[in-house]
Structure 1
Amino acid sequence: MRRMTMAAAGAAAGAALLAGCGGQAATGSGDSPYNGSEIEGAFTLPSTEFTDNKGEPYDLKEDSAGKYTAVFMGFTNCPDICPTTMADLSQAKGMLDESTQKEFQTVFITADPERDDPELLDMWLGSFDPSFVGLTTNLEDTDATADELGISVSRPEDRSGDYQVDHGGQTLLFDPEGESQVMWSYGTEPEKVAEDLETVIGEGA
């Protein structure tokens, strides 16, 4: 595969940034060999310590190693982008054969850790796929992780009541070594995600 430059990766990611809940679907790069945008090596999973949806410690890089990992950042109170993306990823996984499914996982990082505790993440993600991993940590580490992955996050200063969190709508796929491979914009059809997963995982076999 061709290695994407950081500048090109930034431009591709920029199309999906600040989609926010209620935003429009962004389109992928037209010259990508995949349905999504090729971002090979543009981002690396950081070794950030989270708590997963089972209440256990989870190092994003170390505990994701060995599998192709789709990473999405959102929040459980999101009215549209987040539940749609989780449902699409669940459908895409179901289209893969059993052996390919075993090499793939989905990680959901909450951009709203003040409300999304492990118990809530577990209940919410379980409605889509019990195998999905939900992660939460403090605001500082959440935002640092978002920055390292090129995902925008914006919260209102007043978070005393019901509020929304603006966040990038992209899903990033990482290889078993934690290097980015493909980015899917919000609204990418499950069939197209599944095709990309079969291609990427097949090339790595």
Structure 2
Amino acid sequence: MRTPLTAAAGAAAAVLLAGCGPQAATGDDSPYNGSEVKGAFTLPDADFTDSKGEEYNLREDSAGAYTAVFFGFTNCPDICPTTMADMAQAVAELDEAERDRLNVVFVTADPDRDDPELLDMWLGSFDPSFTGLTGDLETTDAAASELGISIERPEDREGDYQVGHGSQVLLFSPEGESELMWRYQTGPDAIAEDLGALLDGEGA
């Protein structure tokens, strides 16, 4: 069951649920490459286990820094590794002070297979600073629903199966309010430019 959304959040959700569609228009006067979704979503108060085996509350433990959130799974053949590689390259373009004010969080949509050890190894191949989160299906799906992100799993989850999921990355402010959304295949240079503008207090 989806969490009720405000009218503004509902409009943003309609865009986000499109997944791999063309990038949404940002408007001629937007200073950003991504789509502005300011205040449409709030980081869920949801408890997970991080890739180091520690408890991690998505809202509380992300507070105080900008946080980019992506839902995916390690067996994903294309969207997830491409997105994480793009995020890693974007983060590498930031200076050290900017990187210290940013979290990149990968929430697995496939907790049956993605345990903390696997998440740690997989994310470490992109950027060891990235945080992987795993939780039970109910917690994962509720958090995704709050953010307008779709997840679809096959009923038979034996063997090599795929998980459908929204392909967008959502960026949240240090207060836990949504700021930007980047579509799949938004280039790392474009993402880094947006991050730099926000972290430097520009384009507000």
User: TM-score normalised to the size of structure 1?
Assistant: 0.91
> Contact (CA 8 Å) 1:28, 1:35: kept in 2 or not?
no
Partner residue in 1 for 2:164: 166
How many pairs does the alignment contain? 195
Identity across the alignment (%): 64
Q: What is the aligned partner in structure 2 of residue 22 from structure 1?
A: none
**The one of 22, 25, 30 aligned to 1:29:** 25
Residue 101 of structure 1, CA deviation: 1.1
Letter of the 1:56 partner, please give it.
E
- Residue by residue over 1:70-107, the C-alpha shift from the partner in whole angstroms, topping out at 9 and shown as x without a partner, is 00000000000000000000000011112111111100
Q: Distance in 1 between matches of 2:125 and 2:48?
A: 22
Provide the aligned C-alpha RMSD in A.
1.6
Question: Contact between 2:63 and 2:176, CA under 8 Å: does it hold in 1?
Answer: yes
| 2:13 counterpart residue number | 10
Structural mapping, 1:69-80, within 5 Å: 69-80=67-78
| 1:196 CA drift (Å) | 0.5
CA contact (8 A) 2:26 2:36 kept: no
1:94 corresponds to which letter in structure 2? A
- List, as ranges, runs of 4+ consecutive aligned residues in structure 1 with deviation greater than 6 Å: none
Give structure 1 stretches of 5+ with no counterpart: 20-24
Q: TM-score, normalised by structure 2?
A: 0.91
Task: Answer whether contact 1:26 1:187 (CA < 8 A) is retained.
Answer: no
Looking at structure 1, the residues matched to 8 and 193 of structure 2 have their Cα atoms a distance apart, in angstroms, of: 24
Deviation at 1:39, TM superposition (A): 0.3
Distance 1:34 1:202 in 2: 13
The 5 Å alignment of 1:74-153 reads 74-153=72-151
Aligned equivalents of 2:31, 2:175: Cα separation in 1: 21
